[in-house]
Amino acid sequence: PAGAPVADPWPAAEGARRADALFRRKFGDAPDGVWSAPGRVNLIGEHTDHNGGLCLPIALGHRTFVALRARGDGAVRVFSAQHPDGGPATLAAPVTPQRAAARTGWPAYVFGVAAMLRTRVPAAFPPAGPRPPTTVPGADIAVDSSVPQGAGLSSSAALECAVACALAAAAGADIDEPHLRRTLVDAARAAENEVVGVPSGAMDQSASLLAAAGHALLLDAADGTATPVPFDTAAMGASLLIVDTRTAHALVESGYATRRAECAAAERALGLPTLSGATDADVAGLADPLLQARARHVLTENARVRAFVEELAAPVPAPQRLGALLDASHASLRDDFAVSTGELDRAAAAARKAGAFGARMVGAGFGGAVLALVPADGAARIAGRITGAFRTAGLPDPACYLAHPSAPARREA
């Protein structure tokens, strides 16, 4: 195809209207308000956050919208437009992490956040503090979202963070207060790790709650810092194209666990708390070539994040230089970390051949999406060329999106 459709996210007003309408239809009355939180894409720094290293996500224009009304009885009821079957998923009081963890499927994300907030939000406001909130209440919740699910764009954190903001606000907290935002990052991550059972780092929730429009967010897992970095693709004549290959391999979970175990083995062999603290000489001294390759990826990837941030500090960053770093990241994830797939390699190669400045797989790997930095006027054409390459290979058409560094979680209405 000469071009392929590149889907735009819903405008915020449209998302808020949809969540509000769903709430009225399902719960028969107006919500107290509507909150939203974005998905994210990581520009560079993959498989570094669980190794004490650096990553650089942006919040997407794709957002999850949550309409909420507080309930006096402590129960949580939730509908999602993305999972429309049956009645509301309900968890009666007491909403505890244990009772939430006994639930399976998507409602566990919502119940998990509600349970984790119960202790964390009041604790974030000691009695002598500025605005002691009331206890986090029960709630009726309606969810609608333009974040693609399971594409590595973090629909899970978008859901968690939108619910966290809505419930914290319902408790009387100021969700724009920085300390409270940190508490929400922690609660949303705890819900995903301890209730849903996904052993992820804090990148997704940090991006969704702490990012800034027009900026990337430099996260350092070593000290927990989150630093906004100006990121203006338009000024450099470029756009960010996300190509979801819609291929998830059976290896996603076991592959992630294996890589984490290999990184832990390399740490033990080096006697270091995290791989990001290793030197090139340390890595060269590792006896096992496989552990050496895994560690080399972490070190070189951290260096690429630093180089990317350095380039962004230039008066006008060069997209060619940023693109070369994306290409090098892809090669390292493919060759040293061994988490790419034929589909991801094909999408990245087709993007480059069609004129992208650079492209790399994003997310944990074993399927998911590719991120390409492309000339500003080239997104639809390059998406078309990648789609053509997939058709030639007998693969399903990928789904393509434009990524703009967008606003963090916020109240919409």
Instruction: Give me the active site residues, please.
Output: 204
Stretch that binds Mg ion, among 152-160, 179-187, 205-213, 215-223 (CB under 5 A): 152-160
Residue range at the interface with ligand ADP (CB under 6 A); choices 79-87, 291-299, 316-324, 398-406: 79-87
Distance, first Cα to last Cα, the chain: 41
Task: Considering the complex, state which of residue 154 and residue 406 has its C-beta at the smaller distance from Mg ion.
Answer: 154
Name the binder of 82 from Mg ion, ligand ADP, none, CB < 5-8 A by kind.
ligand ADP
Rounded to a whole number of angstroms, the minimum distance from the CB of residue 298 to Mg ion is 21
Q: Which is closer to ligand ADP, CB of 143 or CB of 221?
A: 143
| Binding of residue 156 to Mg ion (CB under 5 A) | yes
Report angle CA 60, 400, 390 to the nearest 5 degrees: 145
For ligand ADP, the closer of residues 96 and 149 by Cβ is 149
Decide if residue 15 touches ligand ADP (CB under 6 A): no
CB of 66 to ligand ADP, least distance (A): 9
Residue 199 binds which entry of ligand ADP, Mg ion, none, CB below 5-8 Å type-dependent: none
CB 6 within 8 A of CB 383: yes
CB of 39 to Mg ion, least distance (A): 9
Q: Which one, 159 or 299, has the nearer CB to ligand ADP?
A: 159
Span 103-132, contacts to ligand ADP by CB under 6 A:
106, 109
- Residue 340 interacts with, from Mg ion, ligand ADP, none (CB under 5-8 Å by kind): none
Size of the site for Mg ion (CB under 5 A): 2
Mention every residue, 6+ apart, whose C-beta is less than 8 A from residue 343.
Answer: 245, 247, 367, 390, 395
Q: Which does 406 bind (CB under 5 to 8 A by kind): Mg ion, ligand ADP, none?
A: none
Nearest CB to ligand ADP, comparing residues 153 and 389: 153
Could you count the other beta carbons within 10 Å of the beta carbon of residue 54? 23
Q: According to the binding rule CB under 6 A, does residue 36 interact with ligand ADP?
A: no
* Identity of residue 223: D
Q: How far, in Å, CA of 399 to CA of 242, rounded?
A: 8
Q: How many residues sit close enough to ligand ADP to count as binding (CB under 6 A)?
A: 17
Contacting residue, 64, 205, 206, 245, with ligand ADP by CB under 6 A: 64
- Report how far residue 221's alpha carbon sits from residue 56's, in angstroms, rounded to the nearest whole number: 11
Measured CA to CA, the distance from residue 246 to residue 157 in angstroms comes to: 19
* Cβ proximity to ligand ADP, 283 vs 369, nearer residue: 369
Residue nearest to Mg ion (CB): 156
Q: Are 55 and 222 in contact (CB under 8 A)?
A: no
> What type of residue sits at position 220?
D
Between 156 and 302, whose beta carbon lies closer to ligand ADP?
A: 156
Q: Which of 33, 139, 135, 31 is nearest to 88 (CA)?
A: 139
Q: Candidates 56-64, 151-159, 291-299, 384-392 — which segment interacts with Mg ion by CB under 5 A?
A: 151-159
In angstroms, give the least distance from the CB of 369 to ligand ADP.
9
**Length of the chain, in residues:** 413
**Least distance in Å: CB of 331 to ligand ADP?**
23
Instruction: Please choose, out of 72-80, 156-164, 180-188, 342-350, the segment that lies near Mg ion by the rule CB under 5 A.
Output: 156-164
CA 105, 107, 113, 115 torsion-angle sign: negative
Q: Using the rule CB under 6 A, give the single segment among 52-60, 77-85, 134-142, 313-321 that binds ligand ADP.
A: 77-85
Touching ligand ADP, residues 126-185 (CB under 6 A): 143, 145, 149-156, 159
Which parts of this chain interact with ligand ADP (CB under 6 A)?
A: 64, 80, 82-83, 106, 109, 143, 145, 149-156, 159
Contact set with Mg ion (CB under 5 A): 154, 156
